[in-house]
Structure 1
Amino acid sequence: MTADPDVPQASEALLRPVRPPNAFEDTVGRLLQTIRLGMLAPGESLPPERELATKLGVSRDTVREAIKSLADAGYLVSRRGRYGGTFLADELPSHTGDSDDVTRAEIDDALRLREILEVGAARMAANRTLTAAEREVLWTRLTDVRGAEPEDYRRLDSRLHLAIAEAAGSPSLVPLLAENRMRLNALLDQIPLLPRNIAHSDEQHEAIVIAILAGDGEGAAAAMRAHVEGSATLLHGFLD
């Protein structure tokens, strides 16, 4: 296949080093940009894993997990043999929901409000002296979401984030965060659940809760910020 002379330059711009806190999510996002912006034609192969890992500044394991996730979601096809490799699917999947009416501005608005509300909530919760009951609720909600089945994940994830808002000690915050979670969940329901992202989210959830229980306000805020940035990367990757 003859490549468009403009494509390599554009691909180089897209396949640039990712941010360490969300290496998997950013790798998925970079590959989705390459796919959805037409840098690859249907049936065309991705660069080798080693080359992608070098360009993105991540391990080959991270690249392999990202490719597997996108293959499971129907975007890529892996083939074995002499002419094997990873190829763009001949027909890309449609989203699980109707995103035609969702604009980038609406996605950005929900994500920015989430960062304002949830990063602040984590910091405030950590800076408070929590009761034994409040501490128990946080740990229970964390345990629940870590063991969630896929069909229950969004609900239990939301319960954990609402528990963090409650622990911040501002009753007015909870309904604001709940309303925005409804918007976010409607968006998240339109993209596939990626097992590696769920595992990473579980790790981030634990870091957030441990920082809150340790009274580390800045640590809790930083962990929450990294967490929401990972979700933002996937939402833009799949829905933009």
Structure 2
Amino acid sequence: MDSADPAEGGRPDGAEGGRPDALVPVLRTVRAGNGFEEALEQVLQLLRLGLVPPGERLPPERELAERMGISRVTLREVLKVLQDQRLVESRRGRYGGTFVLARAAEGGEDELRRRVASVDVEDTLRFREVLETGAAGLCAAHGLDERGAGRLRAALAATHDAELSDYRRQDTLLHLTLAELSGSPTLTAQYAAVRAGVNDLLDCIPLLVRNLEHSQHQHTALVEAVLDGDADGAREVMREHCAGTAALLRGFLT
């Protein structure tokens, strides 16, 4: 599989399936004893969050293995499982690598019911609100250095510039960036997990342009509050933002 590793010959455009910074909250060192299982969980979470869109390439094997603290042998076992499940495919050659496959369209209302039945919607939404408001407050209260502030501004700009088809991915990246910048790895990991569940639910409802416009105003107000060091304001904007998403999900799914 080495010849398919982008580290040995990448695409000329240098695309690696999402910004490297975006992978930090999801890919972390696994604990000894369950390396394969935890690495598989993390890469599946990466795919569920949509951080690497269909058709894009995962980061090189060497980078993935180093981020998770596993051997490339273990990583290849993980990728083999994902290939068997038709979630990724390996392409060989100079511009080869491991590419994310589009999920096959599944059965409409039946799929919606399956997803909703597998998730405690209220618990997921409440836990998300706790984590999101906490992260926003921490970022504002502790302040961000120049690099962190730049990352947050860039993530916000990406949501404003996103095509409709890419909006949810960019929205996810903005929220994950805020969680990571909170300075709590535990909060970040928990948020990545709960956001994957939220995204499964969001995939069941339509994108509403009016709602996205409102969300963008809230995103802007949130980032401004964080950068101004207004912890109370940041928490309040985030609370309202989470409540809006929750209202939509409850309306469509319950």
Decide: shared fold, TM above 0.5. yes
Picking from 151, 158, 162, the partner of 1:148 is: 162
Report what 1:162 is aligned to.
176
- SS, match of residue 226 in structure 1: helix
Task: Find the aligned partners of 1:190 and 1:125 in 2 and give their Cα distance.
Answer: 31
Task: Find the aligned partners of 1:129 and 1:175 in 2 and give their Cα distance.
Answer: 21
Q: Residue type matched to 1:230 in 2?
A: G
Q: Residue type matched to 1:210 in 2?
A: E
Report what 2:200 is aligned to.
186
- Work out which of the two has the higher radius of gyration on C-alpha atoms and give 1 or 2: 1
Q: Residue type matched to 1:98 in 2?
A: E
Q: Residue type matched to 1:162 in 2?
A: L
> Which string of whole-angstrom CA distances, capped at 9 and with x for unpartnered residues, describes residues 167-211 of structure 1?
111122111111111000010010000000000000000011100
Report what 2:211 is aligned to.
197
Q: Residue type matched to 2:162 in 1?
A: A
- 2:119/2:197 contact within 8 Å kept: no
> Which string of whole-angstrom CA distances, capped at 9 and with x for unpartnered residues, describes residues 30-50 of structure 1?
xxxxxxxxxxxxxxxxxxxxx
- SS, match of residue 172 in structure 1: helix
Q: Superposed, which structure 2 residues align to 1:87-126 within 5 Å?
A: 98-101=111-114, 102-103=116-117, 106-126=120-140
Unaligned runs of 5+ in 1: 1-93
- 1:145/1:160 contact within 8 Å kept: yes
Unaligned runs of 5+ in 2: 1-106
Q: Residue type matched to 1:100 in 2?
A: R
- SS, match of residue 198 in structure 1: helix
Task: Find the aligned partners of 1:165 and 1:96 in 2 and give their Cα distance.
Answer: 33
> Which string of whole-angstrom CA distances, capped at 9 and with x for unpartnered residues, describes residues 143-172 of structure 1?
001111111111110110011111111122
Matched, 1:210 2:224: yes
- 1:97/1:190 contact within 8 Å kept: no
Assess, with a 3 A threshold, how the Cα gap between structure 1 residues 230 and 130 changes in structure 2: closer, same or farther: same
Aligned length: 147
- 1:96/1:189 contact within 8 Å kept: no
- 1:96/1:192 contact within 8 Å kept: no
Task: Find the aligned partners of 2:110 and 2:153 in 1 and give their Cα distance.
Answer: 32
- 1:191/1:238 contact within 8 Å kept: yes
Could you tell me how far 1:96 is from its partner in structure 2? 7.0
Report what 1:137 is aligned to.
151
CA RMSD of aligned residues (A): 1.8
Task: Find the aligned partners of 2:247 and 2:124 in 1 and give their Cα distance.
Answer: 13
Assess, with a 3 A threshold, how the Cα gap between structure 1 residues 97 and 225 changes in structure 2: closer, same or farther: farther
Q: Residue type matched to 1:125 in 2?
A: C
Q: Residue type matched to 1:147 in 2?
A: D
- SS, match of residue 100 in structure 1: helix
> Which string of whole-angstrom CA distances, capped at 9 and with x for unpartnered residues, describes residues 97-123 of structure 1?
722131497111110110110011000
Compute the TM-score of the two structures, normalised by the length of structure 1.
0.59
Task: Find the aligned partners of 2:133 and 2:202 in 1 and give their Cα distance.
Answer: 19
Assess, with a 3 A threshold, how the Cα gap between structure 1 residues 196 and 96 changes in structure 2: closer, same or farther: farther
Q: Residue type matched to 1:170 in 2?
A: S
Assess, with a 3 A threshold, how the Cα gap between structure 1 residues 97 and 218 changes in structure 2: closer, same or farther: farther
> Which string of whole-angstrom CA distances, capped at 9 and with x for unpartnered residues, describes residues 1-34 of structure 1?
xxxxxxxxxxxxxxxxxxxxxxxxxxxxxxxxxx
Compute the TM-score of the two structures, normalised by the length of structure 2.
0.55
